[in-house]
Structure 1
Amino acid sequence: MRSWMDTLRFAFQPVVNLATGGVAGLEVLARPETGDVLAEARRDARLDARLAVAAVRAAVRRETLLPLHVNVFAATLADLGGLAPLSEAVREAGRMPWEVTLDIGPPYAHVPHGGLLEAVAVLRDQGFRIGADGVGDGDVPLRLLTDLAPDLVKLDASLLGRRPAVRAMRTLCEELGALLSVEGVETEKQYAAAVSAGAQLAQGDLFAPPARLPAADVYVPPRLAGVVARPRSGPSVREFVRPAALLPVTASAGQVRSLLTGSPEVSGVLLVDRAGVPVRSVHRSRFLLSMSARYGHALYADRPAVKLGDPPRTVGVDATAWEVLDVVAVGGRDRTSDDVGVVDRRGRCVGVVRLADLVRALAESRVEEAAGLNPLTRLPGSDTITGEVDRRIADGRAFALSWLDVDHFKQVNDGAGFAAGDELIRSVGRTLQSAASGSARVGHIGGDDFLVLTDPEGLGPLAASVLDASWSAGGRPVTLSLATVVCAPGSVADHGQAAAWLAPLKKAAKALRGGSWVLGRAGLSGHEVLRGSRAAPVRPQPAVAEPGPG
């Protein structure tokens, strides 16, 4: 009698890195020819565990070196207290546990959370990475999600139309140190939304459908104009992580050579200890050159590969692209093309980044930034400031958004000339920029209008720098008006709402005489007048009787 294993096949779907367009891993999916094995596995923990083992072995038969994503039900882990057979299967395959992400899926409703968390702790100690699957389309409680502290959160593509929910999930992922992946991406519109939301990974039929053979190439749509990932202080290294080619530190030079010659896309190998910590880095070209030299194979083939390796260059998963460049800059020029290992909080390798990916991304960001600079002041435009506003909203941070302009600027231009007006605008911009410290951002949105984004506590010094100065153009005295809205966490949903609260404050500031500053708070009516005085009302003159004919 044939068992379900006789009719079970597996398909592979690529997990795509949205920054590099490369394949970051493969999800292994069970595809039974008859029956509903997954429904049975949901009820039978041991059957589900056998499916996970079979998935790893199926991937090994396809000789893929890519990291694997293996599905397992939450109830299975809670019932079994771990997956001992899976650990054994990974070892037998010659793979490392940290090359396998266990995508823990719903239902969670009747799963003992204590037992699940204990099982996850065991798997983490063994080196497996943990993913929370079906978020947004399942029943995972938020508290359990934070207790799991997954390395990866898989968000259902159906949530992409609900921007506040996606932003909140991205913020949570940043707090947990997790990557955000979107699954079920089928359209280019969904792809654009995933990029805008700041997701690092995605999968779906748009890139490549599940197939019996692991896909080497995937379709990645070109970035649409205006679709950029959320701005940050330098791109995160997480956006550029590629799968690492890993071998144990005990590997021989012959084993390294076999891996490199059989995988031309691999640029280097990291030799790791039993905990997954990089010990040596083997660069493809230098290694193969040594092996191909006269007597090279005879000298090195059976010797430990560490003899031909270099000290590894590593960065943490929270590093920025600029920090990677700092690491690359240290040492000899012959190592500038080496992969840089990316390590987690325990020092275990979770992938590598390539210098070419970083340089290209940083160059693109500089070009985009330069294109958005105002030609008069060389300050960024409104898009940069509003993008930063959205980031702070998503991060749950309080901020103050201010608008500043020159009073009666048309009269200044008409009376003093446009050259004097331009020089005044440049001077105001320089003063704002020099007064902006820390995380403050200054933007010139055109004409005599500026936007300033600061932390609430940084408002006073910056306001004083421009309002206490004596301004003039062509010998004529000039005053400035400043309007500020302070936004507490949760008071606005996006930069549009912040701007809507700022608009009436701007009008109120312009209604005051002299240099003025009006401050309001999002969600609260009224405002404070911190500088300036109200214009005296115009009193109607009494009517004078016309003298009658007399």
Structure 2
Amino acid sequence: MQSWTDTLHFAFQPVVNLTTGGVTGLEILARPEAGDILARARREPELDGQLAVLAVRAAARKETLLPLHVNVFAGTLADLGGLTPLHNAVREAGRLPWEVTLDVVPPYTHVPQPALLEALAALRDQGFRISADGVGDGDAPLRLLVDIAPDLVKLDASLLARPAAVRAMRTLCDELGALLVVEGVETEPQCAAALSAGAQWAQGALFAPPSRLPAADVYVPHLGPGPEPETRSGPSVREFVRPAALLPVTASADQVRALLTGSPEVSGVLLVDRAGVPVRSVHRSRFLLSMSGRYGHALYADRPAAKLGDPPRTVGVDATAWEVLDVVAVGGRDRTSDDVAVVDRNGRCVGVVRLADLVRALAENQVEEAAGLNPLTRLPGSDAITGKADRRIAAGRTFALSWLDIDHFKQVNDGAGFAAGDELIRSVGAALQSAAAGNARVGHIGGDDFLVLADPEGLVPLAAAVLDAPWSAGGHPVTLSLATVLCRPGSVADHRQSAACLAPLKKAAKSLRGASWVVGHAGQAGYEIRRGVPPLAPAGTEAVGAEPGVG
């Protein structure tokens, strides 16, 4: 009699890093030819656990080195706990638990959450990575998602029609230390939308459809740079992580040679201890050169490969690209091409980053920034500032958007000459940049107009720095006008609305005499005069209001 396993096969679909275009792993999908095996697995935890074991064994038969993603229903984990048979199957396949990501699949309704969280904690202690699948399209409570603290969050591509939701999920992922993945990407516009909304990984038919043979080569459309990070510390190393080739620290040199010669795409091997912590790093070229030398194989083949390795270079998963470059810069030049191991909070290896990927991304970022700089002040234009404003809006953060210009600038140019005018603009821009602290960002729109994005608590010292300075051009005193709109969460939908709120404040500031500053709140009528003399006020008086704040 034919067993249900006889009509079952598995397909593999790549998960793609949208920054590097490389494959970060393979999701293993059960494909029964007949019957309702998957529907039964949803109801029968033992069957679902058996499917997970068969998925790992199917991957072992294909001899792929890529990390694996295995689907398990949430109810199965709550019912069966640690999935001991799966752990045994991973070990028998010669894989390490941290090379396997468990995609926790909904439904979550009626699943006992304490039991689920206990099971996930046990699996994480064993080394498995955890992915929350079906988020945004399933029934995963937000509170449970936070409690799970997954390594990955997978969203359905249908949410790309609501980019604000995807951006908000990216913000939550950043807080949880998770990567954001979009599933079901089928078109290039969807891919571009995923990258624009902040997704770091993706999978779908656009890159490669599910197939019986694991695919390492995928189609990735040419895409522009993703969202610029909020700070200037550089993009996160998470965006560049590639799968690591791992072997036990006890592996022989012949075992390493077999892996390298059979996998030309592997640039190096990390030797890890039983906990998955990198102990030695074996560089492909240096290792094979040693093995291919005279008597090399005879000398080293049966000896521990660790003797031909180097101390590993490691960074944490929260490191930035610039911090990786700092690590690479330490040591001899012969190791500049070594992979850098990325480790989690327990020191376990979760992948590697390559210097070429970092240099390429940082160079593209620098070129993009340089192209948008104003040639007079070397400050970014309005697009850079408004883009950051949009990210703060999506993240639900309060911020202040300010506009500043030089009063009667045409008269400055006419009276003192354009060279003096240019010098004054450069000086004002430099003063703004010097006064900008923390997350404040300064942009030069053009002419004598500047934009400043800042936290509300940084407004007073910034305003004092530029408004109290004794400005002059050609020996004649010059004053500045500053207008600020405070934007609380929900008060504006995007940077266009914040700019619209700023326009009447700018007009009000320009109507005042002397150095002026007015502050308003998005969505509220009226404004507060912080500096400047109203046109009808007696000379020598100044309108002073309360300190601007967020309360």
Instruction: Give the TM-score of the pair, scaled to structure 2.
Output: 0.95
1:221-232, aligned counterparts within 5 Å?
221-224=221-224, 228-232=226-230
Report the counterpart of residue 383 of structure 2 in structure 1.
Answer: 383
Within 1, Cα distance between the matches of 2:8 and 2:46? 16
Report the counterpart of residue 514 of structure 1 in structure 2.
Answer: 514
Structure 1 residues not aligned, in runs of 5+: 539-550
1:421 aligns with 2:424: no
Report the counterpart of residue 145 of structure 2 in structure 1.
Answer: 145
Residue by residue over 1:216-267, the C-alpha shift from the partner in whole angstroms, topping out at 9 and shown as x without a partner, is 211111115xx63233430110110000000011111111111001001000
Report the counterpart of residue 344 of structure 1 in structure 2.
Answer: 344
Indicate the larger mover: 443-452 or 457-466. 457-466
Report the counterpart of residue 86 of structure 2 in structure 1.
Answer: 86
Residue by residue over 1:350-381, the C-alpha shift from the partner in whole angstroms, topping out at 9 and shown as x without a partner, is 00000000001111111111100001111111
Report the counterpart of residue 486 of structure 1 in structure 2.
Answer: 486
Report how many aligned residue pairs link the two structures.
536
Structure 2 residues not aligned, in runs of 5+: 539-551
Within 2, Cα distance between the matches of 1:395 and 1:340? 31
* 1:490 positional shift: 4.0
1:127-206, aligned counterparts within 5 Å?
127-206=127-206
1:248 aligns with 2:248: yes
Instruction: Give the TM-score of the pair, scaled to structure 1.
Output: 0.95
Q: Are the counterparts in 1 of residues 315 and 343 from structure 2 also a CA contact under 8 Å?
A: yes
Q: Are the counterparts in 2 of residues 164 and 493 from structure 1 also a CA contact under 8 Å?
A: no
Does the residue aligned with 2:347 lie in a helix, a strand or coil? coil
1:28-427, aligned counterparts within 5 Å?
28-224=28-224, 228-232=226-230, 233=232, 234-427=234-427
- Residue 322 of structure 2 aligns to which amino acid in structure 1? W
Residue by residue over 1:253-296, the C-alpha shift from the partner in whole angstroms, topping out at 9 and shown as x without a partner, is 11111100100100000011111111110111111111111111
- Residue 487 of structure 1 aligns to which amino acid in structure 2? C
- Residue 125 of structure 1 aligns to which amino acid in structure 2? D
Within 1, Cα distance between the matches of 2:7 and 2:489? 54
Report the counterpart of residue 16 of structure 1 in structure 2.
Answer: 16
Within 1, Cα distance between the matches of 2:345 and 2:393? 27
- Residue 372 of structure 1 aligns to which amino acid in structure 2? G
Indicate the larger mover: 424-433 or 143-152. 424-433
Residue by residue over 1:284-323, the C-alpha shift from the partner in whole angstroms, topping out at 9 and shown as x without a partner, is 1111111111111111111111111111000001100000
Within 2, Cα distance between the matches of 1:304 and 1:63? 23
* 1:189 positional shift: 1.1
Does the residue aligned with 1:411 lie in a helix, a strand or coil? helix
* 1:412 positional shift: 2.3
Indicate the larger mover: 509-518 or 142-151. 509-518
Within 2, Cα distance between the matches of 1:276 and 1:491? 48
Larger Rg: 1
Q: Are the counterparts in 2 of residues 231 and 391 from structure 1 also a CA contact under 8 Å?
A: no
Within 2, Cα distance between the matches of 1:82 and 1:107? 19
Residue by residue over 1:447-479, the C-alpha shift from the partner in whole angstroms, topping out at 9 and shown as x without a partner, is 111011222111111111111112222233221
Within 2, Cα distance between the matches of 1:214 and 1:284? 23
Residue by residue over 1:133-176, the C-alpha shift from the partner in whole angstroms, topping out at 9 and shown as x without a partner, is 00111000000000000000001111112122111101110110
Does the residue aligned with 2:15 lie in a helix, a strand or coil? strand
Within 2, Cα distance between the matches of 1:512 and 1:353? 56
Does the residue aligned with 2:82 lie in a helix, a strand or coil? coil
* 1:537 positional shift: 8.7
Within 1, Cα distance between the matches of 2:151 and 2:537? 64
Within 1, Cα distance between the matches of 2:449 and 2:37? 64
1:458 aligns with 2:458: yes
Does the residue aligned with 1:144 lie in a helix, a strand or coil? helix
Does the residue aligned with 1:250 lie in a helix, a strand or coil? coil
Within 2, Cα distance between the matches of 1:493 and 1:57? 50
Q: Are the counterparts in 1 of residues 340 and 354 from structure 2 also a CA contact under 8 Å?
A: yes
Within 1, Cα distance between the matches of 2:156 and 2:503? 37
Q: Are the counterparts in 1 of residues 130 and 151 from structure 2 also a CA contact under 8 Å?
A: yes
Q: Are the counterparts in 2 of residues 198 and 230 from structure 1 also a CA contact under 8 Å?
A: no
Does the residue aligned with 1:452 lie in a helix, a strand or coil? strand
* 1:405 positional shift: 0.6
Q: Are the counterparts in 1 of residues 164 and 197 from structure 2 also a CA contact under 8 Å?
A: no
Does the residue aligned with 2:134 lie in a helix, a strand or coil? strand
Does the residue aligned with 2:515 lie in a helix, a strand or coil? strand
Within 2, Cα distance between the matches of 1:203 and 1:48? 23
1:433 aligns with 2:433: yes
Within 2, Cα distance between the matches of 1:228 and 1:253? 41
- Residue 112 of structure 2 aligns to which amino acid in structure 1? P
1:465-480, aligned counterparts within 5 Å?
465-480=465-480
